[in-house]
Amino acid sequence: MPAEPAQSKIIPEAAHEPGEAKRRPMYDFPVHPASGAKKPGPLTGIRVIDFTHFIAGPLGTMMLADLGAEVIKIESPKGEDFRQFPPADPALGGEGSPFLWTNRNKKSVVLNLKTREAQEIVRQMVAKADVLVENFSSGVMERFGLGYEDLKTVNPDLIYTSVSAYGRSGPYADRLGFDTVVQAESGFMSFNGFPDRDGIRVQPVIMDSSTAMMAANGILAALFRREREGGGQRVEVSLYETSMIMVGYGAMQYLMNGVEPSRIGNSSNDTAPTGVFHTSDSAFFVSSSNTAIFQRIFRLIGRDDVADDPALQDRMERLKRREWMREILAEAFARKPWAYWEPKLREANVPAGEMRTLAAALHSDETRAANLVTRVPHPTAGFVPNIALPIHLSDSPVVDPVAAPILGQHTRSVLEEMGYDADGIAELRKAGAFGPFEPK
């Protein structure tokens, strides 16, 4: 395990005060171990030029970075807005910690795209890149002279990826869209919540996250096709189109039989008994997706008569009698604590899990057993948390995590790799290619 990094004048003293481990939960987790002689990631050698901001785009490109791609994040002189999402963290220079979640393993280069000089730098980058990803409003990249039609002449093998709200063409291409908006429009909210209230959003950014996965998958498919046949292409994904996948099989149920899913809280339209039950000291969720599980649940509480009831072997009959079954289970489970029921449910092979807060989930035995949470060095904060990519490859694992970059951290080094010397960088600065930003 690597040693704690030495203090320097750019690391706030607070980051290493004796009480810091008590104030920041990340100090409950180990430093991410170095891989040593680990083989390179499967996307090693792939270069991605990343013009994305907020979540759907950056999370998708971070997945590529975790798999070994070199991802060069292009930011304006003030940085992308997601850097300012709360809560502001003094250890990060006043930026918010959410930015860390979507920008691991990337390089940050500051360019003022309103200048011809910066646009020319991008074209030079694209000439030697494999992938470009952008999620600006429709038309922005074209106004900079960096649209797909512009850049495919620079690099015919380029995979040009656009992440948008409603697509890059058609009557809604100009619309702005956000995760919660498409949760509402897609019908996703309509079957979340309780029947006596409006449908509700889910707090995690599920549409952004799933769109990021769609983008990464589209890019990988395009790279695979290029490897076999040659040639680049355009990849497009949108929040709204992705949302129609995320509503799940309810869409197919409606299209086949005209029945829309209804809001029934923590229960289920399809299975019973399913939902939240309370022990004497906690609450847990049970999913009863088939007859065998239904039988195991009732045998567990000593009600073989219910488990073997001929009528209840039919799923639809169980749905009709869900409340009756719930009352029986609720009374039984309330007699003992979770520590009593948890091993019995597991031994009986009943899918059930304790209702946890986020903090409890992050500190849980399951999370620790999977090595999902560690911490990694950061140039100003000392350490920042790291949540692992949940992909495991036996022969080309994900790369060691590096914290999200400080704004413009790699501007000078990337330009030097491109062949610019000190005088050339000074000329670019004079021409306004970096805005007020000073490449370090």
What CATH code is carried by the domain that includes residue 213? 3.40.50.10540
Residues 296 and 423 in one domain: no
User: What pLDDT, on the 0 to 100 scale, is given for residue 412?
Assistant: 98
User: What pLDDT, on the 0 to 100 scale, is given for residue 37?
Assistant: 64
Residues 346 and 399 in one domain: no
Residues 342 and 391 in one domain: no
Q: Helix H segments across 87-161? A: 98-102, 116-127, 140-143, 148-151
Residue 114 and residue 244: Cα distance in Å, rounded?
A: 36
User: What pLDDT, on the 0 to 100 scale, is given for residue 5?
Assistant: 35
- 127 pLDDT higher than 50: yes
Answer whether residue 5 is part of any domain.
no
Residue 35 has which token pair? 């891989």
> Where a domain ends, among 354, 389, 415?
354
User: Average pLDDT, stretch 6-13?
Assistant: 34
- 14 pLDDT higher than 90: no
User: Average pLDDT, stretch 267-282?
Assistant: 96
Task: Identify the active-site residue in 66, 89, 208, 308.
Answer: 208
Residues 294 and 173 in one domain: no
Answer whether residue 377 is part of any domain.
yes
From 61, 31, 100, select the one nearest 380 (Cα to Cα).
100
Answer whether residue 267 is part of any domain.
no
Residues 173 and 308 in one domain: no
- 406 pLDDT higher than 90: yes
What CATH code is carried by the domain that includes residue 292? 3.30.1540.10
Residues 98 and 212 in one domain: yes
User: What pLDDT, on the 0 to 100 scale, is given for residue 279?
Assistant: 98
Answer whether residue 254 is part of any domain.
no
Answer whether residue 360 is part of any domain.
no
pLDDT tens figures, 235-246? 999 999 999 999
Residues 68 and 111 in one domain: yes
The one-letter amino acid code at 247 reads: V
User: Average pLDDT, stretch 161-167?
Assistant: 97
Residues 229 and 350 in one domain: no
Q: Cα 221–393–2 angle (5° rounding)? A: 125
pLDDT tens figures, 174-229? 999 999 999 999 999 999 999 999 999 999 999 999 999 999 999 999 999 999 99
**Which is more confidently placed, 20 or 170?**
170
208 is catalytic: yes
User: Average pLDDT, stretch 62-83?
Assistant: 97
Alpha carbon dihedral 351, 354, 355, 359, in 10-degree steps, equals -130
Show the domain range for 346: 283-354
What does the mean pLDDT of the chain come to?
93
Q: Look at the chain and report how many structural domains it folds into.
A: 2
User: Average pLDDT, stretch 313-317?
Assistant: 97
User: What pLDDT, on the 0 to 100 scale, is given for residue 11?
Assistant: 36
> Where a domain ends, among 295, 328, 354?
354
Query: Looking up tokens 């991605």, which residue turns up?
Result: 48
Residues 113 and 232 in one domain: yes
Helices (H) and strands (E) in the chain, counts: 19, 11
pLDDT band per the 50, 70, 90 thresholds, residue 440: confident
Answer whether residue 7 is part of any domain.
no
- 1 pLDDT higher than 80: no
Give bridge partners of residue 234 from the DSSP assignment: 160
Instruction: Find all residues with CB under 8 Å of 432, minimum gap 6, and list them.
Output: 112, 115, 117
> Where a domain ends, among 326, 354, 382?
354
The CA-atom distances, in angstroms, between 205 and each of 86, 208, 211, 260, 358 are 15, 5, 10, 24, 15
Residues 52 and 163 in one domain: yes
Residue 306 has which token pair? 């219910």
Residues 212 and 342 in one domain: no
Instruction: Find all residues with CB under 8 Å of 228, minimum gap 6, and list them.
Output: none
Instruction: Find all residues with CB under 8 Å of 421, minimum gap 6, and list them.
Output: none
User: What pLDDT, on the 0 to 100 scale, is given for residue 39?
Assistant: 85
Answer whether residue 342 is part of any domain.
yes
User: What pLDDT, on the 0 to 100 scale, is given for residue 4?
Assistant: 38
pLDDT tens figures, 326-349? 999 999 999 999 999 999 999 999
pLDDT band per the 50, 70, 90 thresholds, residue 19: low
User: What pLDDT, on the 0 to 100 scale, is given for residue 319?
Assistant: 96
Answer whether residue 388 is part of any domain.
yes
- 8 pLDDT higher than 60: no
Q: Is the peptide bond before 273 cis (omega within 30 degrees of 0)?
A: yes
User: What pLDDT, on the 0 to 100 scale, is given for residue 36?
Assistant: 72
Instruction: Find all residues with CB under 8 Å of 379, minimum gap 6, and list them.
Output: 10, 11, 403, 406, 409
User: What pLDDT, on the 0 to 100 scale, is given for residue 340?
Assistant: 98
Residues 70 and 180 in one domain: yes
